[in-house]
Amino acid sequence: MTVWLRPSMGLSDEADFVIHMGTGDADLILRGSVIPNYDKYRDILPGLETRGAFVVSTFAAIDGVTELDILRAMKQNRFARAPYGRLHDLVIHPTSMTAEGIPTRVMAVHFDIEIPGADWTPRSGTVDRITADEEDELVDMLKPGLELILGRFSPAPPRGGSDKRDIYPELRQGGQR
């Protein structure tokens, strides 16, 4: 996966952000995607020239891309949404990445939200070489910030979001992508 920064986009407070929730379990989100992708953000985000970033991936329903378009592109079934007005005090970057199966027009409305309080640099120089104890420390450090972000989305954990197939019946069996 390669990540790059896009030009800034004007967002209204009403613009809906969509996040895939998986199970909504903070530990699984951190260990499964946030921590492993840390190094992918090295050198691309402002102020992060010497380290990576801990971010949560989201999409905004803007510029003609609808929530349904976003959900069709997501392999995960569970999602939650939040208006930008609930998120604008967080650090949000317009980013794109190489991602198999996601249409270019959907990737054009991808944003990463930095996890608050994630001021950390790996002792080994890269997250790929951290020990199990370092990963446990990292999860403990990142969890409050991740939970703060997830709590801004509805429905928030522990329910783990809505099932897109319940809201959009056309996404049931065989209707994805």
Write down the pTM of the prediction.
0.86
Question: How do the domains of the chain map onto residue ranges?
Answer: 3-153
Cα–Cα distance for residue pair 17/65, rounded to 1 Å: 11
Instruction: Compute the distance between CA of residue 139 and CA of residue 135 in angstroms, rounded to an integer.
Output: 6
pLDDT, tens digit, 9 for 90 and up, residues 44-87? 766 666 677 899 999 999 999 999 999 888 888 888 899 999 99
pLDDT value, residue 121: 72
Residue 17 pLDDT = 94
Across residues 36-51, what is the average pLDDT? 75
Q: Cα 63 to the chain's mean position, in Å? A: 19
Stretch (H or E) spanning 150: helix 132-151
Residue 18 has a CB neighbour count (10 Å cut-off) of 25
Cα separations in angstroms, 46 against 5, 43, 114 = 9, 8, 12
| pLDDT band at 41; cut points 50, 70, 90 | confident
Minimal CA–CA distance to 109: which of 173, 66, 138, 74?
66
